[in-house]
Structure 1
Amino acid sequence: MVFLIGLSRKKEDATRTQSLPVSIVICAHDEEQNLHELVPQLLAQDYPEFEIVVIDDRSNDSTFDWLLEETKKDHRLRMVHVNRTPPHVNGKKYGITLGIKAAKYEWILLTDADCRPQSNQWLNTVSSQFSESTNFVLGTSPYLKVPGLLNFFIRFETLLTAIQYFSFALLGNPYMGVGRNMAYRKSMFLDKKGFNNYLNVTGGDDDLFVNQHATGKNTQVIMGHDSLVFSIPKTTWSSFFRQKIRHLSVGKLYKFKHRFLLGLFTLTWMLTWFVGIPLLFVPELTYLIAGILVFRIVLLTILANYASKKLGHRFEAWIVPLLDFIYAFYYLVTGLTALVSKKVRWKN
């Protein structure tokens, strides 16, 4: 119910009254093929003034050569080349920092090479939330739909994550964002010394930065079809598992209040199944527990359907009960693994 209340507080985005210049920053490692698709889509954005800054982070493919040629064709595309990173500094954070410092404009819009904007109005949608009091604009980045149970689960897990951080932000307590679709001010990034407090941590260039500096007063969110940036999903359970371990491993660095609230949410989700199912076999409680479980599944299905439409993409509500059950086991395994993991990587 809390999430439904939070999402319902988001009204229609205000009509854009100004088009402030935007620097789109992308850190790429061996992403030549993805950049072939992404860069033309970004250059086709219907927006008066923007640039694209691509950081070639020690790529082993032909990313550098391709970007060098493309930058000659359109002045809006620029490249920052990284040959090496300083010791004990995470490569992606270092690359993003160089890209932001090289950016010409105040507003920085982040995405990844394997992302695709849903429409040529993406920049317009993001900029509609720019104001003097705003430092952060948070968007979502669902995964493309392909056949298979893994893809259903990836999209379900991503939807739940978006529901959580959007609801918290709309209720005045932002705690994270995704670097595939997020904007913030360059001056604020430099004033706060960027990622200085966790340069050696893999991950956190998006959620930890928001967790440290976003407030209810300086943060806006964007929803709807034109705000979406789709990502290419993992195709194996093992690669998805490694990705989520990397994402979840930084959660232990969140502010205490956010760790507590998120931990409480996860704990109650798991207890619903791990305690609820055994209680079904207690004769005196069978009908009561069954009723609670059915009510919970119905409520979750309604939430998933409402939230996906609100965010701008429909999710198949009929499979929510199965994914709900799988999610409890998924979080038990990934949560514990992320908690004890000491070494995770972005890329080689």
Structure 2
Amino acid sequence: MIGFYLLIVCVLINLYFYSRFLPLAFYKGSDKPQKGFPASLIVCAKNEAEQLEKHIPLWLEQQHPDFELILINDRSSDETLKVMESWAVKDKRISIVNVRENETFWANKKYALTLGIKRATHPRLIFTDADCRPASKQWLGAMSAQLDQKQELVLGYGPYENRPGFLNRLIRYETAMTGVQYLSAALRGKAYMGVGRNLAYTSSLFFKQSGFMSHMNLASGDDDLFVNQASTSDNTNVCLNVKAFTYSIPKDNLAEWIRQKRRHITTATNYSLGQRISLTLYFLSNWAFWPLVVLGFILLPWWWIAPLALVRIIAQYAVTGLSFKQLNEKGLLALTPLLELVLVWLQLIIFISNLMAKPKHWK
């Protein structure tokens, strides 16, 4: 009977979180018309020569009347700087910040980004990564249009490419569910994170927050921790125009993806107590649901368990289905229960691994 009561509690927690995702599921869209605000597009790269060759042309092709492209070479050991310089000769909109090994101070991406932000000549700053391609030529305009006198922080969405294989679906599912959580929170006026693959804020907000100083010692967090400290219910907006997404190529090796996620989740310990409790409850309720259902079917009458499981699964399909549609994530909904089950156990492994040893710095 204890297991039955635990299942009831678990389902109620699940339903509570699905209700919190409704702002995204039923988002009607309020993207502002592109006004041609001057903008600075900032990209920090470390050993990304190949990716820069592919994506610099796409960034320069953005249909925006007034923007500069600031390329930051963060102590690369490959041809990254040469690629940047070759493009800078061709286009005067490009400005290069070269961070040298003997100049690193904190020796992390945040220091390099700070130098790039200081180089920017426009107050509206748009950020992406070297391995990200914009979904369209309207990306820069759509993101920068959201930044006005009131809105100083814009959260975009950065999905991964849709490719064959179960690992691809797992990575895309994890990315989509993370997006569902942080975008719906922002729509409720409770933004707690964003992703550097697609993010925008004003230079005045950056300097008002003293940049990354409160977490400069941490390897990660140039995106989520900055949003966590700088966002308010009034100054944050989201951009869910599918033309304003940025796409990345996902890992094709499970071990590499786990290493990437180990780095990413270290920043969550710096969230507020309430945010950490909420994220923990969400994880535990998802992790416990399926074992409790299986145990219930074994030990108790099926008609006790089936209605609870059915209500939860229907709510999950309804809310995540509508949310995935907002995020243009296709081919995930049908496999949602399996993807969720695999993901929560992998997340548990990642959490335990981080307790045993700290992950390495980026690249």
Q: What TM-score do the two structures reach when normalised by structure 1?
A: 0.94
Amino acid at match of 1:304: T
Amino acid at match of 2:184: S
Amino acid at match of 1:130: L
1:13 to 30, 34, 43: 30
1:105 to 117, 122, 125: 122
Is 1:331–2:347 an aligned residue pair? Answer: yes
Secondary structure of the corresponding residue to residue 251 of structure 1: helix
Counterpart position of 1:82:
99
Counterpart position of 1:225:
242
Counterpart position of 1:292:
308
Counterpart position of 2:228:
211
Q: 1:313 to 1:281 in 2, by over 3 A?
A: closer
1:172 to 182, 189, 208: 189
Q: 1:170 to 1:261 in 2, by over 3 A?
A: same
Q: Is the 8 A contact 1:19 1:124 kept in 2?
A: yes
Amino acid at match of 2:294: I
2:77 to 45, 49, 60: 60
Which range moves more in the overlay, 327-336 or 136-145?
Answer: 327-336
Provide the rounded CA distance (Å) in 2 between the counterparts of 1:183 and 1:47. Answer: 15
Counterpart position of 1:305:
321
Deviation at 1:312, TM superposition (A): 3.2
Provide the rounded CA distance (Å) in 2 between the counterparts of 1:294 and 1:191. Answer: 49
Is 1:69–2:86 an aligned residue pair? Answer: yes
Which range moves more in the overlay, 308-317 or 64-73?
Answer: 308-317
Counterpart position of 2:136:
119
1:93 to 95, 110, 127: 110
Is 1:316–2:352 an aligned residue pair? Answer: no
Q: Which runs of 4+ in 1 moved over 6 A?
A: none
Is 1:261–2:278 an aligned residue pair? Answer: yes
Q: 1:133 to 1:338 in 2, by over 3 A?
A: farther
For 1:199-254, what per-residue CA distance to the aligned partner results, in whole angstroms no more than 9, with x for missing partners? 12111000001111101111000113112101110111100001111111110111
Which range moves more in the overlay, 31-40 or 275-284?
Answer: 275-284
Counterpart position of 1:346:
362
Q: Is the 8 A contact 1:55 1:81 kept in 2?
A: yes
Deviation at 1:17, TM superposition (A): 6.0
Q: What TM-score do the two structures reach when normalised by structure 2?
A: 0.90
Provide the rounded CA distance (Å) in 2 between the counterparts of 1:68 and 1:140. Answer: 29
The percent of aligned pairs where both chains have the same amino acid is 36
Amino acid at match of 1:44: E
Instruction: Specify every segment of 5 or more residues in structure 2 that has no aligned partner in the other structure, as ranges.
Output: 1-17
Amino acid at match of 2:306: A
Q: 1:339 to 1:139 in 2, by over 3 A?
A: farther
Secondary structure of the corresponding residue to residue 298 of structure 2: coil
Provide the rounded CA distance (Å) in 2 between the counterparts of 1:124 and 1:27. Answer: 20
Deviation at 1:327, TM superposition (A): 2.0
Is 1:252–2:281 an aligned residue pair? Answer: no
Q: 1:311 to 1:2 in 2, by over 3 A?
A: same
Deviation at 1:340, TM superposition (A): 5.3
Instruction: Specify every segment of 5 or more residues in structure 1 that has no aligned partner in the other structure, as ranges.
Output: none
For 1:270-318, what per-residue CA distance to the aligned partner results, in whole angstroms no more than 9, with x for missing partners? 111233322221133x332233223323322233321122123434321
Is 1:46–2:63 an aligned residue pair? Answer: yes
For 1:316-341, what per-residue CA distance to the aligned partner results, in whole angstroms no more than 9, with x for missing partners? 32111211221221222123333554
CA-based RMSD: 1.7
Provide the rounded CA distance (Å) in 2 between the counterparts of 1:297 and 1:158. Answer: 20
Counterpart position of 2:10:
none
Q: 1:299 to 1:90 in 2, by over 3 A?
A: farther
1:272 to 289, 297, 320: 289
Provide the rounded CA distance (Å) in 1 between the counterparts of 2:105 and 2:273. Answer: 26
Q: Is the 8 A contact 2:37 2:145 kept in 1?
A: no
Amino acid at match of 1:328: V
Amino acid at match of 2:341: F
Q: 1:17 to 1:320 in 2, by over 3 A?
A: closer
Deviation at 1:145, TM superposition (A): 1.3
RCO comparison, higher one (Cα < 8 Å, 6+): 2
Deviation at 1:87, TM superposition (A): 6.9
Deviation at 1:260, TM superposition (A): 1.3
Q: 1:165 to 1:85 in 2, by over 3 A?
A: farther
